[in-house]
């Protein structure tokens, strides 16, 4: 579980961004809507079937739910986020979604209770723990899925990303090897951006 001091820092960071930008991608620390949607498109490369139950970790405004709807993919969407301000906006924008305020370990979803689990941009907070929280979160996201888990991480091989002390980045090959301790079916995508990569973890 995330430490109280780090949790409050993240909540404050998003509160300040939301107060500055309102309902805008900049409030989520995305450079643009186009880039946010590019990451969503890559995540959905795991091939989500209509009617799937999905969990979105670090859901922000629930934009992934809107992305599914825009593409005509009907899903049973659950989102979780630490930020009350972002979730209030998400509840207004997506009244039919199931939304939780808190940490994934507080929600503690039962094993294989979702078809697919996702994390987009929510695993880049520097927590000064060597990436332990990120790996623990990925492990729980995978345990919670019945079909597959997709998430993106910042690429430590990219010079700009590696020098950002306010962001957590990872070695792609190391994360692939670690992910294979969870499942043998791991696919790496790094063909869409210079500073990030996506992993698909599927159940055999």
Q: Confidence band (pLDDT; 50, 70, 90) for 177? A: very high
Position 36 scores a pLDDT of 95
pLDDT-wise least confident of 99-108, 121-130, 131-140: 121-130
Percentage of the chain exceeding pLDDT 90: 81
Position 1 scores a pLDDT of 74
Position 95 scores a pLDDT of 96
Q: What is the mean pLDDT of residues 127-153?
A: 96
- Distance from C-alpha of 164 to C-alpha of 142, rounded to nearest angstrom: 28
∠ CA(171), CA(175), CA(178), 5° rounding?
140
Nearest Cα residue to 18 out of 32, 8, 28: 28
Q: Confidence band (pLDDT; 50, 70, 90) for 184? A: very high
Q: Which residues contact 178 (CB under 8 A, 6 or more apart)?
A: 135
- Distance from C-alpha of 126 to C-alpha of 52, rounded to nearest angstrom: 32
The partner residues of 151 in beta bridges, in order of sequence, read 119, 199
Q: What is the pLDDT of residues 38-94, one digit of tens each?
A: 999 999 999 999 999 999 999 999 999 999 999 999 999 999 999 999 999 999 999
Position 164 scores a pLDDT of 85
Q: What is the mean pLDDT of residues 120-134?
A: 92
DSSP 20-69: HHSSSGGGGT-S-HHHHHHHHHHHGGGTPPTT-EEEEET-TTTHHHHHHH
Domain ranges of the chain: 4-202
Q: Confidence band (pLDDT; 50, 70, 90) for 128? A: confident
Percentage of the chain exceeding pLDDT 70: 100
Q: Domain spanning 4-202: which superfamily?
A: Vaccinia Virus protein VP39 (3.40.50.150)
């Amino acid at each position: 579980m995330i430490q109280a001091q780090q949790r409050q820092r993240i909540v404050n960071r998003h509160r300040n961004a939301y107060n500055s930008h309102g309902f805008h991608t900049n409030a989520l620390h995305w450079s643009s809507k186009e880039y946010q949607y590019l990451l969503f498109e890559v995540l959905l490369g795991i091939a989500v079937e209509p009617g799937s139950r999905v969990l979105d970790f670090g859901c922000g405004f629930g934009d992934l739910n809107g992305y599914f709807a825009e593409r005509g993919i009907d899903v049973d969407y659950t989102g979780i986020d630490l930020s009350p301000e972002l979730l209030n906006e998400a509840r207004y924008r997506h009244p039919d979604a199931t939304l939780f305020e808190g940490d994934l370990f507080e929600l503690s979803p039962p094993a294989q209770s979702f078809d697919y689990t996702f994390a987009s941009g929510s695993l880049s907070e520097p927590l000064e723990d060597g990436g332990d929280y990120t790996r623990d979160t990925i492990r729980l996201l995978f345990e919670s899925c019945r079909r597959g888990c997709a998430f993106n991480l910042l690429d430590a091989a990219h010079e700009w990303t590696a020098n950002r002390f306010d962001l957590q980045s990872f070695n792609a090959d190391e994360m692939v090897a670690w992910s294979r301790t969870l499942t043998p079916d791991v696919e790496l995508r790094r063909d869409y951006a210079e500073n990030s990569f996506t992993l698909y973890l599927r159940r055999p």
